[in-house]
Amino acid sequence: MFITKKHMSRRAVLRGLGVTMALPMLEAMVPARTVFAKTAAGKVRLAAIEMVHGSAGATKFGLQKNLWSPAAVGKGFDLSSSSLAPLEPFRDYLTIVSNTDVRNAEAFELPEIGGDHFRSSAVFLTQAHPLQTQGSGVRAGVSLDQLYARKFGQDTPIPSMQLCIEAVDQAGGCSYGYSCVYTDTISWAGPNQPLPMIRDPRLAFDQLFGVGATPEERAIRRAEDKSILDLISSQLSRLNKEIGAADRTRLSNYLDEVREIERRIQKVEAYNKSGEVREMPTSPVGVPDSFDEHVKLMFDLQAVAFASDTTRIFSFKMGRDASSRVYPTSGVTTGFHPASHHGDREDRIMDFAKINKYHVGMLPYFLKKLKDTPDGDSNLLDNTLVVYGSPMGDSNIHNHKRCPLFFAGKAGGALKGGLHVKAADGTPMANAMLSALHGLGLDEIKSFGDSTGEFNLTTAPETTAAQ
Residue 204 lies in a domain: no
Task: Quote the strand ranges of 338-433, DSSP E.
Answer: 374-375, 378-379, 384-389, 405-408, 419-422
Give 195-206 pLDDT, tens digit per residue: 999 999 999 999
Same domain for 280 and 357, yes or no, is no
Q: What is the mean pLDDT of the chain?
A: 91
Angle 87-265-187 (CA atoms, 0-180°, nearest 5)? Answer: 60
Residue 65 lies in a domain: yes
Rounded CA separation 164/94 (Å): 23
Bridge partner residues of 316 (DSSP): 49, 163
Sign of the torsion angle spanned by Cα atoms 45, 158, 48, 284 = negative
* pLDDT score at 466: 46
Examine the pLDDT at 11 and tell me if it is beyond 90.
no
Residue 309 lies in a domain: yes
What pTM was computed for the model?
A: 0.94
Comparing 6-15, 75-84, 306-315, the range with the smallest average pLDDT is 6-15
Residue 456 lies in a domain: no
Same domain for 122 and 111, yes or no, is yes
Comparing 97-101, 364-368, 374-378, the range with the smallest average pLDDT is 374-378
Same domain for 265 and 381, yes or no, is no
* pLDDT score at 40: 41
Q: How far is CA 86 from CA 53, 90, 354, in A?
A: 19, 9, 12
Residues 101 and 404: beta-carbon distance below 8 Å: no
Rounded CA separation 136/134 (Å): 7
Same domain for 251 and 326, yes or no, is no
**Structure letter (DSSP) for residue 422:** E
Exposed, middle or buried by CB within 10 Å (0-12, 13-18, 19+), for 397?
A: middle
Query: Radius of gyration of the chain from Cα atoms?
Result: 22
Give 204-245 pLDDT, tens digit per residue: 999 999 865 566 666 666 666 679 999 899 999 999 999 999
Mean pLDDT of 143-153: 97
Rounded CA separation 371/91 (Å): 13
How many of the other CB atoms lie within 10 Å of CB of 416?
Answer: 15
Same domain for 36 and 54, yes or no, is no
Exposed, middle or buried by CB within 10 Å (0-12, 13-18, 19+), for 20?
A: middle
Give 24-72 pLDDT, tens digit per residue: 988 888 765 555 555 444 489 999 999 999 999 999 999 999 999 999 9
The CA dihedral of 325, 328, 334, 340, to the nearest 10 degrees, is: -60
Same domain for 24 and 81, yes or no, is no
CATH number for the domain including 429?
3.40.720
Q: How many domains does the chain have?
A: 2
Residue 209 lies in a domain: no
Q: Model confidence at 188, in pLDDT bands (50, 70, 90)?
A: very high
Exposed, middle or buried by CB within 10 Å (0-12, 13-18, 19+), for 21?
A: buried
Residues 434 and 111: beta-carbon distance below 8 Å: no
Q: How far is CA 157 from CA 34, 46, 123, 229, in A?
A: 24, 16, 28, 20
Residue 458 lies in a domain: no
Q: Model confidence at 315, in pLDDT bands (50, 70, 90)?
A: very high
Q: Which of 259, 286, 313 is the last residue of a domain?
A: 286
Phi, psi of 230 (to 5 degrees): -65, -30
Give 241-251 pLDDT, tens digit per residue: 999 999 999 99
CA atoms within 13 A on the CB side of 382: 13
Rounded CA separation 411/429 (Å): 19
Same domain for 106 and 89, yes or no, is yes
Same domain for 53 and 34, yes or no, is no
Angle 296-302-304 (CA atoms, 0-180°, nearest 5)? Answer: 105
Residue 122 lies in a domain: yes
Same domain for 343 and 235, yes or no, is no
Q: Do strands 161-164 and 19-22 pair parallel, antiparallel, or not at all (unpaired)?
A: unpaired
Residues 34 and 376: beta-carbon distance below 8 Å: no
Q: Which of 263, 286, 309 is the last residue of a domain?
A: 286
Contacts of 65 (CB under 8 A, 6+ apart): 81
Same domain for 67 and 183, yes or no, is yes
Residues 135 and 192: beta-carbon distance below 8 Å: no
Mean pLDDT of 414-437: 97
Q: Which of 286, 309, 338 is the last residue of a domain?
A: 286
Domain span at residue 221 reads 1-40+216-286
Residues 62 and 68: beta-carbon distance below 8 Å: yes
Same domain for 182 and 148, yes or no, is yes
Residue 207 lies in a domain: no
Same domain for 295 and 254, yes or no, is no
